[in-house]
Structure 1
Amino acid sequence: MNKAIIAGLAAGVLIVGLVFSPLFNGNPLSAVDAQRSTGTTRQVTLIANENEVMVAPDNALHPGGLKYNAMTFNGTIPGPVVAVNQGDTVEITLKNEGKVIHSLDFHAGIGPSNALSGNVAAGEEKTWTLHAKTAGVFLYHCGADGLNGVWEHIANGMYGGIVVHPAKEKPAKEFYVVFGEIYNSEDGGLFTGDNSTDTAGSFDLGKFATDQPDLILTNGMAHKYVPSIGQAVKLELNKDAEVFKVKPGELTRWYIVNPGPNGYVAFHFIAGMMDVRDGSVRGNYGKPVTQDETWTIPPGSGTVIEATFPEAGLYVGVDHNMNHVVRGAAFAVLATEDATEDDHPEGTWVPSRSHLIEGGSMTTGAYAGTVPEGTPGGNATSTGPASSTGQNTTSSGGGNSTRTNSTTTG
């Protein structure tokens, strides 16, 4: 081939590579935007503990309900949502009030010093720093003893979500929903009638290893937000269920987190469509997959879902794996003009970007998170809507304290 032609082709390839490389190597503009600091340092405390929780209500599927010896952050499955703005610095304190070693893995962090707490022995605490560079929703979970037993600590409920709001985020009514599996030694199975015992179950390694979850929890309980199903034949699932309320036509944003530890979530809104906002680009969520029906969320991941429910009536969010639905992976959404800004089911409210800028709390409960004096945003003391506080947060105890890799910005 003529040398001139070869040289021309090579130059063309080089030019194309320079022009399109941002598309394939992560837009460098997004990296610059993501690294830009807001100058705000936020502080949050998570309490690690072991405690008994109710994971299934009393219904025909599980007569008497089911108790479980869980591992928790701040007393609940899941742990509280932690909300920050892109570019914030976050000082995270992990206090271990339990009896075994716990730790933290923040999937929003990049690099071990940003993402991992290291072991925190019983009675001790550690503080380290996370730089919130990438917008989205990300899993955090216990890493057990340097990953030894991490599968058990996750399956026992030690997980939650961190929301990093982008600079160009549109206002929306926002909700926090976390799915999770339980492998329960005391679960006799569906419709068995032998679950009324007061004995709380614990992690069953055999069920875990063979991928046989007993329940798929929705924010800590099977069918937590589903009163009943059926018309001709009605099956009551949870007589105390709260449902999510939205106004017809309003933009809603759902931070869906799947800690697993094993299974995928095939997320779907019955009677609805959704825009998927995975990834982060130039101060906003990534280019959306629009008007999708079902989106797969792998274990260890979170996805930002936006949806508008066009007419009044009942919609249902589900993991469209029907095996998972019968085990608890569903929640009811009622589109009604009676919906208000602060009628979220307990624990599902997410502090918005504007709420954080105004100095509001970054999470809920007694350890709601603060902005230290002297940094932009002032001192955060509010805890959001009253219906969304009550996280059963345990009080902090004494013990040894270790501070690791902690910095502030001014």
Structure 2
Amino acid sequence: MNKAIVAGLAAGVLVVGLIFSPLFTGFPLSTAQAQGTGNTKHFTLIADEMELQVAPSNPLHPGGIMYKAMVFNGTIPGPVISVHQGDTVEITLRNEGNVIHSLDFHAGIGPSKALSGNVAAGESKTWTFDAVNAGAFLYHCGADGLNGVWEHIANGMYGGVVIHPHNEKPAKEFYVSFGEIYNSADKGPFVGTNGTVGSFDLVKLWNDSPDLILTNGMAHKYVPEIGAASKIPLNPDAEVFMVKPGELTRWYIVNPGPNDYVAFHFIAGQMDVRDGSIKNRYGTQLKNDETWTIPPGSATVIEAVFPEEGVYVGVDHNMSHVLKGGAFAVVADDASTDNDHPEGTYVMSMEETMMEH
């Protein structure tokens, strides 16, 4: 079942205190699905507010775009949390910002596990949840008991949880998050902000009119240029994703929204989708596709083999989203190594999570 259909079925369900629930299975979740490993993994997320660059200087955004963001650990997205199925996950949320923040883990089951509750400025809170179901899941700030959650997500307070299944094959793995910016100072393409640092615009969010689509915190972060006969420079400092022709790659694609779907596609490639735990079995469902719908508030595990040398491009196939920044370049080259991930995209493997205590 396509995730868009699952999302539609789930749209009418309201769980008190948890509006955005995990959409990785059409079945009730059961704590009996995963055999416990006996391991507890510890993670600290630091909430803060700061100015970040969210678009490079290019013809679409003259001078670049600076924005008053909200962050976990100083970046958009927050760090990926990678564990093994059956682990216990211990989370500490420390609020170094000036406003109330909180956490909603879509990998958790039950309000005491999924939700931190409010953490005031200068305070911290620690709690645990069990990594029951394998897959990729969103975490995000819940603001003040959901009051303003739309703003905190749109401002960059989100990240991904990876729960490796017991029988996962080794692969080169990458963490990529899309995200929307609704900027009060952005006057549109070819104008930008004229150097003004922007902030959240509720009217633009209300009208579902994002100015930018970020990939790991910046529009066109991983796209140097487009065009062949007529080139448009987009990011002279762009890193690209390097892979070897024929090797198995695994992509954890996160869509925090807060509003729009991601129609994920590899230009010149196809993919296998491992989405949702199969009840009473370990591992994940496997489907072949060329474009896969990821609803806002969700994440997907995608595997792909790039068979020949050359440039492939991961995109949100909504063309306005591509123009606004939702794309990244993948270069298949025999010179690629196991350690040439762009900064912040490396995911701890199943074997590494098993060895870490």
TM over 0.5: yes
Alignment match of 2:273 (pick from 271, 276, 283): 276
Q: CA deviation at 1:345?
A: 0.2
Change (3 A) 1:66 1:309: same
The higher radius of gyration belongs to 1
Letter in 2 for 1:71: M
Q: Please give the alpha-carbon distance, in whole angstroms, between the structure 1 residues aligned to 2:129 and 2:139.
A: 12
Q: Please give the alpha-carbon distance, in whole angstroms, between the structure 2 residues aligned to 1:185 and 1:355.
A: 43
Q: Please give the alpha-carbon distance, in whole angstroms, between the structure 2 residues aligned to 1:40 and 1:348.
A: 24
Q: Please give the alpha-carbon distance, in whole angstroms, between the structure 2 residues aligned to 1:354 and 1:79.
A: 23
Q: Is the 8 A contact 2:262 2:317 kept in 1?
A: yes
Q: Is the 8 A contact 1:73 1:159 kept in 2?
A: yes
Q: Is the 8 A contact 1:167 1:283 kept in 2?
A: no
Does residue 299 of the first structure (1) align with residue 296 of the second (2)?
A: yes
In structure 2, the residue matched to 1:288 is 286
What do residues 136-179 of structure 1 show as CA deviations (whole Å, max 9, x unaligned)?
A: 00000000000000000000000000000000000000000000
Q: Please give the alpha-carbon distance, in whole angstroms, between the structure 1 residues aligned to 2:230 and 2:186.
A: 26
Does residue 169 of the first structure (1) align with residue 168 of the second (2)?
A: yes
In structure 2, the residue matched to 1:195 is 193
Q: Is the 8 A contact 1:137 1:162 kept in 2?
A: yes
Unaligned runs of 5+ in 2: 1-24
Q: Is the 8 A contact 2:308 2:332 kept in 1?
A: yes
Q: CA deviation at 1:32?
A: 3.4
In structure 2, the residue matched to 1:342 is 339
Q: Is the 8 A contact 1:166 1:283 kept in 2?
A: no
CA-atom RMSD in angstroms: 1.5
Normalised by the length of structure 1, the TM-score is 0.79
Q: Is the 8 A contact 2:243 2:330 kept in 1?
A: yes
Q: Is the 8 A contact 1:263 1:298 kept in 2?
A: yes
Q: Please give the alpha-carbon distance, in whole angstroms, between the structure 2 residues aligned to 1:131 and 1:116.
A: 13
Q: Please give the alpha-carbon distance, in whole angstroms, between the structure 1 residues aligned to 2:285 and 2:299.
A: 16
Q: Please give the alpha-carbon distance, in whole angstroms, between the structure 1 residues aligned to 2:135 and 2:273.
A: 11
Letter in 1 for 2:140: H
Does residue 210 of the first structure (1) align with residue 207 of the second (2)?
A: yes
What do residues 319-358 of structure 1 show as CA deviations (whole Å, max 9, x unaligned)?
A: 0000100000000000000100010000000000101222
Greater helix share, structure number: 1
Does residue 311 of the first structure (1) align with residue 304 of the second (2)?
A: no
Q: Is the 8 A contact 2:166 2:283 kept in 1?
A: no
Q: CA deviation at 1:195?
A: 3.0
**Structure 2 counterpart SS, 1:126:** strand
**Structure 2 counterpart SS, 1:280:** coil
**Structure 2 counterpart SS, 1:202:** coil
Q: Please give the alpha-carbon distance, in whole angstroms, between the structure 1 residues aligned to 2:316 and 2:200.
A: 23
Does residue 95 of the first structure (1) align with residue 94 of the second (2)?
A: yes
Does residue 259 of the first structure (1) align with residue 256 of the second (2)?
A: yes
Change (3 A) 1:25 1:267: closer
Q: Please give the alpha-carbon distance, in whole angstroms, between the structure 2 residues aligned to 1:338 and 1:208.
A: 43
**Which has the higher mean CA deviation after the structures are superposed, 56-65 or 276-285?**
276-285
Normalised by the length of structure 2, the TM-score is 0.91
In structure 2, the residue matched to 1:123 is 122
Letter in 1 for 2:122: G
Change (3 A) 1:27 1:300: closer
In structure 1, the residue matched to 2:48 is 49
Q: Please give the alpha-carbon distance, in whole angstroms, between the structure 2 residues aligned to 1:27 and 1:209.
A: 32
Listed as ranges, the matches of 1:325-364 within 5 Å are 325-359=322-356
Q: Please give the alpha-carbon distance, in whole angstroms, between the structure 2 residues aligned to 1:63 and 1:49.
A: 28
Q: CA deviation at 1:283?
A: 5.3
Q: Please give the alpha-carbon distance, in whole angstroms, between the structure 1 residues aligned to 2:26 and 2:52.
A: 45
**Structure 1 counterpart SS, 2:32:** helix
Does residue 235 of the first structure (1) align with residue 261 of the second (2)?
A: no
In structure 2, the residue matched to 1:247 is 244
Unaligned runs of 5+ in 1: 1-23, 360-370, 372-410
Q: CA deviation at 1:27?
A: 9.4
State, as a whole percentage, how many aligned pairs show the same letter. Answer: 70
Stretches of 4+ moved more than 4 A in 1?
24-28
